[in-house]
A = this chain, B = another copy of it.
């Protein structure tokens, strides 16, 4: 972030606490906030054909938001729920944008955020093209080693695109 803006931006950030199972963002609504997880886990998901599909897990230090809505300013297909009690830092996207639009460097920071999401998604496609279930699992725990102890298998298997039974067998075989 532009150093001269740091103080102003910090002023926009609030801290909030929520209990496990709290819905941070409701599916089908417009998202106006960016969240940074201080403690706990937030899970981004959506529904399709009765199934609940996990698309992202935000652990300590991770940023989360309904990215599609943040870009489009329209309703999101994603929901975000807390899997543990959480402490979050929250920033209003609207206020952030108002602040940043005063400054010419604004554009590149927003862009970097969007690019990051894009690259992440491209990597996810690549995972399906190149790796089998076991390898995708290994990649996931390498990236987020604590995930497995803290999130149930059903959530993780939907993220990996496999059944819970297969995930259970993979995990055992390690």
Q: Which residues of A are at the interface with B, using a C-beta cutoff of 8 A?
A: 48-49, 53, 55, 67-68, 71-72, 111-112, 114-115, 117-119, 121-122, 124-126, 128-130, 158, 161
Contact = CB atoms under 8 A, between A and B. Distances in A.
11 contacts: A48-B126, A55-B125, A71-B115, A71-B118, A72-B112, A72-B115, A121-B121, A124-B125, A125-B128, A128-B161, A129-B161
Given A118-B118, A128-B128, 19 more contacts: A48-B126, A49-B130, A55-B125, A67-B118, A68-B118, A68-B119, A68-B122, A71-B111, A71-B114, A71-B118, A72-B112, A72-B115, A114-B114, A118-B121, A121-B122, A121-B125, A124-B125, A125-B128, A129-B161
A118 B115 contact: no
A19 to B, nearest CB: 30
B119 A118 contact: no
Contacts of A119: 68
A119 to B, nearest CB: 7
A122 to B, nearest CB: 6
B68 A129 contact: no
A127 to B, nearest CB: 9
A119 B49 CA distance: 19
A111 B68 CA distance: 11
A119 B121 CA distance: 10
Contacts of A158: 129
A68 B115 contact: yes
A153 B111 CA distance: 36
Contacts of A161: 128-129
